[in-house]
Amino acid sequence: MTIRVQFWSYFKDLTGCADLTEELPEGSTVHDLLKRLHAHHPKLAAMQNSTLIAVGVDYQGRSHVLRDGDEVSLFPPVQGG
């Protein structure tokens, strides 16, 4: 299945990338996606304790099961106001 990934704020600088596409086996979770991304982007791996994850426009945890076509967003802590 195909998952689109977007990076926000300084995560774009850490990865040198605004968005990318990953192909993952059916039944993969957010955790599986992160493992794949961390392998290519070690600076992102270093931020994993302060990484927020959304699927579509809702926050999701590492165990959330992805579906074909999902858009996953990764970003640092928010700072509005």
Partner 1 sequence: MKHQLTLTPGAIDEPALIAARQMSAGMGAAVYFSGVVRGSEEDQTISAIEYTAFAQMVERQFHLIFDQIEKRWPIESLRIVHRLGVVKVNEPSLWLEVVAPHRGEAFAAGQFLIDEMKRTVPIWKKPLP
CB closer to partner 1, 69 vs 81: 81
Asked whether position 80 contacts partner 1 by CB under 8 A, the answer is: yes
Cβ(68)–Cβ(2) below 8 Å:
yes
- DSSP of 19-68: EEEEE--TT-BHHHHHHHHHHH-HHHHTTGGG-EEEETTEE--TTPBP-T
Q: How far is the CB of 8 from partner 1 (least distance, A)?
A: 5
Tokens, residue 14? 């850490």
Tokens, residue 16? 């040198």
Restricted to residues 2-21, the positions that interact with partner 1 (CB under 8 A) are: 6, 8-10
Restricted to residues 47-76, the positions that interact with partner 1 (CB under 8 A) are: 52, 54, 57-59, 73, 75-76
Q: Enumerate binding residues for partner 1 (CB under 8 A).
A: 6, 8-10, 52, 54, 57-59, 73, 75-76, 78-81
